[in-house]
Amino acid sequence: MSARAPGQAAPLAPGAVSGDEALPDVTLADGSVSSGNVRITLALAPQPPVAFAKTRVRVRTEVNGSLAVLEGGTISFEMTMPMGDHRYSLVAGQNGWQEADVALPRCMSGNRRWYATVEGTVAGQPRSARFRLDLASPE
């Protein structure tokens, strides 16, 4: 059931994240964050995502290993510097995944690191999960 690539760090318990490097990296592989009995998986296509190009974002939510719905699901992207508002609503996709089509700009500083935050409500409880990704430059 794991979408995690071999060698990728396991998600940390809430409160254990000491730095952004500890966030699951979804640049080249799907990543998951577990909190209690809720697991949120984020998958990007293509891997790696490319600046200015369409990236298909897919989110899968599980409760005790069973597919669940992230109500009012959104995904937002940010850098450590202000790069504008990049928040998208997740809509129902195939096989229980929730999706958004996203295009992120390339940072003129050369920094490629973005952070993605998935938010929504699962069984009446607000939930969020953070991930990191490195945007490839367009050819």
Chain contacts with Cu ion (rule: CB under 5 A): 81, 83, 107
Which residue of this chain has its Cβ atom nearest to Cu ion in the complex?
107
CB-neighbour burial class of residue 64 (10 A; exposed 0-12, middle 13-18, buried 19+)? exposed
Pick between residue 77 and residue 131 the one whose CB is nearest to Cu ion.
77
> In whole angstroms, how close is the CB of 109 to Cu ion at the nearest point?
5
Pick between residue 17 and residue 83 the one whose CB is nearest to Cu ion.
83
Pick between residue 20 and residue 92 the one whose CB is nearest to Cu ion.
20
> In whole angstroms, how close is the CB of 135 to Cu ion at the nearest point?
11
Pick between residue 97 and residue 115 the one whose CB is nearest to Cu ion.
115
Rounded Cα gap, residues 61 and 98, in angstroms: 9
Name the β-bridge partners of 55.
102
On whether the CB atoms of residues 87 and 72 are closer than 8 A, the answer is no
CB-neighbour burial class of residue 134 (10 A; exposed 0-12, middle 13-18, buried 19+)? middle
> In whole angstroms, how close is the CB of 90 to Cu ion at the nearest point?
25
